[in-house]
A and B are shown apart, each in its own frame.
Chain A
Amino acid sequence: MKVPLAAIAHTRSGDKGDTSNIGVIALKPEHYPVILREVTPERVKAYFGDLVKGEVERFELPNLGAINLLLHEALGGGGTVSLRVDAQGKTYGAALLRMEIELG
């Protein structure tokens, strides 16, 4: 069954220079393996398309039922250089929650 990531996770995103990070946190422990399987760096990179120029890295925090995604070259230069309204990547996390994943 396909559902948006929002059905099983919550997120918070922010910035470090031109890199944005998205913490993706399972709403319930049983959702963590689904996140690991579905929210891969390749899929996240393809999902954001032109917004993310660089690579996507993923780190696992099984103790929190969470992954940490680093989206490199994703903020139009970052900080004060960026011309984007979301120069700090504050909305990336919510945007990722629309991504469709396979639940089964």
Chain B
Amino acid sequence: MIRIANGQGFWGDWLEAPVRLVDEGSIDFLVLDYLAEVTMSILQKQKEEDPALGYARDFPPLIGRLAARLKERNIKVIANAGGVNPAACARAVLKAAPGLKVAVVHGDDVFSRLDTFLAKGYELRDMDTAQPITTIRPQILSANAYIGAFPLAEALDSGADVVIAGRSTDTALTLAPMVHKFGWKADDWDKLAAGTIAGHIIECGAQCTGGNCQVEWENIPDMANIGYPIIEAEPDGTFTVTKHEVAGGRVNSDTVKEQLLYELGDPKRYLTPDCSADFTSIHLEDSGPNRVRVSGIKGGPRPPTLKLSISYTNGWKAMGTLVYSWPQALPKARAADRIVRQRLETLGLHYDEIYTEFFGVNACNGQVAPPNADPPEVQLRIGVRGQDRKTVDRFTRELIPLVLNGPPGATGFGEGRPPVREIVAYWSALLPREEIQTTVEVIS
């Protein structure tokens, strides 16, 4: 049996979580998932400004902080902290923790190969809209293939203390130690599916240990000290989801089911570079306090394609807010919204979209929210987006004047003019998997 813990559900997750996983009990592998769909584009922009950047900068200091304990307790770390610059990330890790052996997985970054792919006839159509990628070619910032568990397992086979990848799938981070330790083969579909589903359960950190859980949320124990998840994996593909005993939170079939359903598509065909996993085959059993045993998982062959994660610039946006107080807070906020729109129209400014929400009334759920006849205050939030930066910027000047020249009772403008942000959008496409060859580089 091996114990695999996830200490980071995204870049920006709780800094203490990985440290507590190392300190509060026994684990063999610490995995850290830093990448969301848009994270790669942010990292690409950072790399353009400084070639030594482009990775998750939380990671090297964390490894520096933990280095002695990792060595002493023989804990291996697997992270997709490399972003668009895994080599620079590895250098930073070695600087922070000189005694460790670091392995870097290369081969996911295909940004420089895009035109070659197009010349070969791959259209790289968007998986949602079916548009060919030529429609956005000049706007592309980054392009990476999602890579699976086998390159990461190969890196672990090299004896590395820390494995750094770029755009590996979230689930591969958890599956890799199982492939490495149990010697699972590339066509052990049921086992690979089991490890993949284990990865899906823990990839969002505490979201399977009581975080964001609806069932008796008021009674989740000691949420301030919530424990991040641990998988106890067996060589036959069965596993138990748990947490350290001293940590807060809760692990039961409710918390695990919620996470199993999170960001799921077709449950019979959960596709990764490693396999196809069938979520309708999962058998859950509450097997003890804060323990859920998972068995019965079936899998199928991996797809012949790999998914590409591509980011591209798609115009500009800005969102601004004002607060209107009682009485008649909502009619005042609605009037202010009409005035802003009329003033923009008078200026001859046009946008791809103007979107208004009234916080405290209907922002989250539109018509589904129950009527709130006379709320004590309402926050007006207007957002615009368009292709021209100056047009979007001009909108940001139209909110604060309303405090003096619009309906009475406006406040909440202390943050000043809202910032204009470039929109970095996400494009996903499929590529034949033979195009991607990964390599492992060991540095110490």
Contact = CB atoms under 8 A, between A and B. Distances in A.
A5 B264 CA distance: 21
Instruction: Determine chain B's interface SS by DSSP, over half rule.
Output: mixed
Contact of A21 (B265, B284, B428): B265
Given A51-B365, A85-B359, 16 more contacts: A21-B262, A21-B265, A25-B254, A25-B261, A27-B215, A51-B367, A61-B267, A61-B279, A79-B38, A81-B423, A83-B319, A83-B384, A84-B363, A85-B357, A85-B364, A85-B381
B260 A84 contact: no
Interface of B: 37-38, 128, 212, 214-215, 254, 257-268, 279-284, 314, 317, 319, 353, 355, 357, 359, 363-370, 381, 383-385, 423-426, 428
Contact of B212 (A12, A48, A62): A12
A11 B280 contact: no
A84 B355 contact: yes
Given A23-B258, A66-B257, A12 B214 contact: yes
A40 interface: no
A65 B212 CA distance: 20
B354 to A, nearest CB: 8
Q: Which of B258, B262, B264, B426 has the most CB of A within 10 A?
A: B264
B262 A14 contact: yes
Interface residues of A, number: 45
A43 interface: no
Contacts of A60: 280
Interface string A41-67: 000000111110000000111111110
Contacts of B258: 10-12, 23, 25
A66 B284 CA distance: 13
Contacts of B259: 12
